[in-house]
Amino acid sequence: MVRTFYRLQRQVELSLTGHGLTLPQFDVLATLGSDEGITQQELAGRLLVTKGNVCGVLDRLSMMGWVERRPDPDDGRANRIHLTAAGRKKLAEVMPEHHALVLKMTLPLSDADVKVLRSMLEALDRAIEPEP
Amino acid sequence: MVRTFYRLQRQVELSLTGHGLTLPQFDVLATLGSDEGITQQELAGRLLVTKGNVCGVLDRLSMMGWVERRPDPDDGRANRIHLTAAGRKKLAEVMPEHHALVLKMTLPLSDADVKVLRSMLEALDRAIEPEP
DNA sequence: TATTGTTATACTCTATAACTATA
DNA sequence: TATAGTTATAGAGTATAACAATA
């Protein structure tokens, strides 16, 4: 089961490589796409990675000009992470192919199965550290 | 969907770290557990990684004394990869906790759901490069 | 000439831990 | 003192490409 997960993910990773993105980088962009303005700590929690590592990923993403750190007006220590216009464009560029790949990978399943799969994964996702 | 996959996988990865294993290393051991004696090329195909990279992972695993390369008697170029006794022991040591984690992660699902999920994943797995 | 495996390089990610600054 | 973010280090994985030995 885990091996299948890994293979599916490698497939996604290989596709992202063609866009000059790594999986963690894509994950950050996609997360910001739905939850812009979160802090680096929150981002670290989502990715299940330490804040130190998020820092490095953000360094690379901001060097590419896709994200920017804006100081939190209410907390001098915190940053709020935002997509730049270029980042939004990049995400819009990658997403269609990404969706096409997911669609292709789930082709052996019926539409109903995919729906079930999706709702299962959402249930599993919610179960991951709900009370940190 | 892919983000959930990633989060589930990170969870597995964090658990493996406690055993001094990385996900690719575990993947190799588990693959050998069911298909011992395959070549490095075959292994590379399973992991969706280049032969050069498999070489490095095997270097580390054999340095730990968990796998060994045996020259293929019929093809002077190829190696057949085998688990050592220590490797088999390591796998037996990690597997219970691994299964417990998978069980815990799928707890929000019913037994029937898990069965469905498993059969879906098997279908997806079979669909990944069936004709290389 | 093609294939199996090895080696080399550069980059990214991760674990770990010490550090700065704000609260 | 606790928290948000940064920096430093070491190890591992991956992409890419050149290389040796065998088929």
Q: A27-31, A101-105, B51-55, B82-86 — which is least confidently predicted?
A: A101-105
Do B113 and A120 lie within an 8 Å CB cutoff?
yes
Kindly determine whether residue B5 and residue A4, on different chains, have CB atoms separated by under 8 Å. no
The shortest CB-CB distance from B31 to any of A3, A26, A108 is to A3
- Supply the pLDDT for residue B132: 39
**In Å, what is the separation between the CA of A5 and the C1' of C6?**
29
Q: Which residues of chain B have pLDDT under 70?
A: 129-132
Place of tokens 């059969």: B119
- Taking only the tens place, the pLDDT of each residue in A61-70 is 999 999 999 9
The pLDDT of residue A128 is above 90: no
Question: What pLDDT band is residue A19 in, cutting at 50, 70 and 90?
Answer: very high
Residue A88 has pLDDT above 50, yes or no: yes
Query: How high is the pLDDT of residue A132?
Result: 40
All residues of chain A having their beta carbon less than 8 Å from the beta carbon of residue B45 are none
Looking at the complex, does the CB of residue A116 fall below 8 Å from at least one CB of chain B?
A: yes
Q: What is the pLDDT of residue A131?
A: 42
Residue with the bigger pLDDT between B106 and A75: it is A75
Closest C-alpha to B19, from B75, B64, B84: B64
Place of tokens 């290989």: A14
* B79 close to B40: Cβ distance less than 8 angstroms: yes
- Residue A130 predicted with pLDDT over 60: no
Contact B37, B80 (CB under 8 A): yes
Q: Name beta bridge partners: B80.
A: B70
- Contact A113/B at CB under 8 A: yes
- Tokens in use for A22? 């790594």
Q: Is the CB of A52 under 7 A from strand D?
A: yes
Task: Compute, in degrees rounded to 10, the torsion defined by CA atoms A73, A70, A57, A92.
Answer: 130
Confidence (pLDDT) at B130: 54
What does pTM read for this prediction?
0.93
Contact A57, A28 (CB under 8 A): yes
pLDDT band at A117 (very low <50, low <70, confident <90, very high): confident
Residues whose CB falls within 8 Å of the CB of residue B14, separated by 6 or more in sequence, listed in order: A48
A25 touches strand D (CB under 7 A): no
